[in-house]
Structures are given as structure tokens and as C-alpha cells.
């Protein structure tokens, strides 16, 4: 009987250790079905880019839904995690664009979709920032993440526009 508190302490320590281990191993931001869809579209840049836009949009929608749910108790933590998921998918989108550019793929059409999505993402993220600033919510857990996401999307818009203009220019020269 005397050993019970020690056992509880051991179980607690084990739980804390496992929590740390799981925290150190970040989950894949894409679910298996999404990963399968990407695999199937491996050789089709426009489809792969379209899928990434869709997955990023789903992350923002999930964030909005969570924040609108009055039953959610750990809103700051969940806001942080959903922003991180969005950023992970957006980083992968950019990485794929870089890969296709290196392969000299014609991305003019998909890039138009990316730029439209960038504008939508910017507006939704700014709206989120605005709503947070006007509320009294505790933001320290995700303020840095939100700013990182906004910075990344802002520079993404510029990069994508620049790339589209370069590809338009290259296409004009090809035609001549």
C-alpha cells in the first residue's frame, strides 16, 4: 500500500516522458488519403499544386471551425497547432513549385490558381489577426506562429507573382 504513491508517480513520469517523445516527433500534416492523392499526381504538376491548395484551404477552414466552436476549451493551443498544420502544407506547396521550376515545367496555369489562393489565405489570416486583436484572448501561445504564417504567405504571394511573370516572359520568347 505504501508503494501506491510511488507507482502513481512512476506512471506519471512515464506519461510525461512519452508526451515529450511524442511532442518531439511531429505528425505528418497530411492524412494517408491526402498523401495517396499526391502520390497519384506525382507526375502532374498542375494537379499536385491544385491538391496542395485544397489541403491548405482545408486547414484554414478547420481552424475557423474550431475557433467558432464554443465547446473548445484549449483554443490557444489548438489555434497554434492548426496554424502549424497550414504552414507545413503551404511550405510543401512552395517546395513542390520549386521542384517543378527546376524541371522547367510550365506552371503558368497552376500559378494563377496559387496566386488566387494566396490572396484568399492572406485575407482569412488577416481577418483572424483582426478578430484576435479586438478580443481579449490570450495570444502568447500562437502569436509568433500567426506572424510567421502571415510573413510566409506574404512573401509567397510576391514569389509566385514574380515566377508567373518570368514564365509569361519566357513563353513569349519561345513563341517568337
Partner 1 sequence: MRFRTQIAAMLIVASVLASAYKQETLQELIARAEAAHIEDRPALYLEIAEKQLKASDQLYIDGKVEDGRAALNDVVTYSEKAHDASIQSGKKLKDTEIAFRKMAAKLRDLKRRLNFDDQAPIQVAADRLENLRTDLLSHMFGKGK
User: Considering only residues 7, 39, 103, 176, which one is a binding residue for partner 1 as defined by CB under 8 A?
Assistant: 39
67 vs 105 by CB, closer to partner 1 = 105
Grid cell for residue 169: 516572359
User: Considering only residues 3, 24, 134, 135, which one is a binding residue for partner 1 as defined by CB under 8 A?
Assistant: 24
69 vs 151 by CB, closer to partner 1 = 151
The per-residue b/e assignment along 54-78, b for 16 or more CB within 10 angstroms, e otherwise, is: ebbbebbeebeebbeeeeeeeeeeb
- 117 contributes a contact to partner 1 by CB under 8 A: no
Kindly give the residue spans of alpha helices, DSSP state H, lying in 1-135: 4-24, 32-40, 45-68, 75-102, 108-134
18 vs 127 by CB, closer to partner 1 = 18
Residues comprising the chain, all counted: 176
- 95 contributes a contact to partner 1 by CB under 8 A: yes
- 28 contributes a contact to partner 1 by CB under 8 A: yes
- Cβ 124 vs Cβ 116: under 8 Å: no
CA distance 12 to 19: 10
Binding flags for partner 1, 49-78, as an x/- string (CB under 8 A) = ------------------------------
Give the C-alpha distances (Å, rounded to integers) separating 130 from 48, 67, 116, 122, 123.
32, 14, 21, 12, 10
CA angle, residues 142, 147, 148, in degrees to nearest 5? 95
User: Considering only residues 29, 45, 110, 156, which one is a binding residue for partner 1 as defined by CB under 8 A?
Assistant: 29
- 154 contributes a contact to partner 1 by CB under 8 A: no
- 22 contributes a contact to partner 1 by CB under 8 A: no
32 vs 70 by CB, closer to partner 1 = 32
Residues forming contacts to partner 1 in the complex (CB under 8 A) are 24-26, 28-30, 35, 38-39, 42, 87-88, 91-92, 94-96, 144, 148
Amino acid at each position: 500500500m505504501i508503494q501506491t504513491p510511488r507507482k502513481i508517480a512512476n506512471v506519471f513520469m512515464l506519461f510525461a516522458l512519452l508526451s515529450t517523445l511524442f511532442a518531439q516527433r511531429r505528425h505528418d500534416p497530411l492524412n494517408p488519403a491526402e498523401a495517396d492523392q499526391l502520390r497519384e499526381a506525382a507526375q502532374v504538376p498542375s494537379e499536385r499544386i491544385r491538391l496542395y491548395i485544397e489541403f491548405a484551404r482545408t486547414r484554414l477552414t478547420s481552424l475557423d471551425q474550431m475557433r467558432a466552436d464554443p465547446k473548445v476549451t484549449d483554443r490557444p493551443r489548438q489555434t497554434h497547432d492548426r496554424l502549424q498544420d497550414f504552414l507545413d502544407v503551404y511550405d510543401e506547396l512552395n517546395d513542390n513549385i520549386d521542384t517543378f521550376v527546376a524541371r522547367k515545367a510550365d506552371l503558368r496555369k497552376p500559378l494563377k490558381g496559387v496566386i488566387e489562393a494566396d490572396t484568399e489565405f492572406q485575407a482569412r489570416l488577416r481577418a483572424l489577426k483582426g478578430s484576435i486583436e479586438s478580443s481579449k484572448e490570450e495570444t502568447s501561445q500562437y502569436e509568433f506562429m500567426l506572424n510567421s504564417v502571415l510573413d510566409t504567405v506574404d512573401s509567397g504571394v510576391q514569389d509566385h507573382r514574380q515566377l508567373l511573370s518570368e514564365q509569361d516572359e519566357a513563353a513569349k520568347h519561345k513563341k517568337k
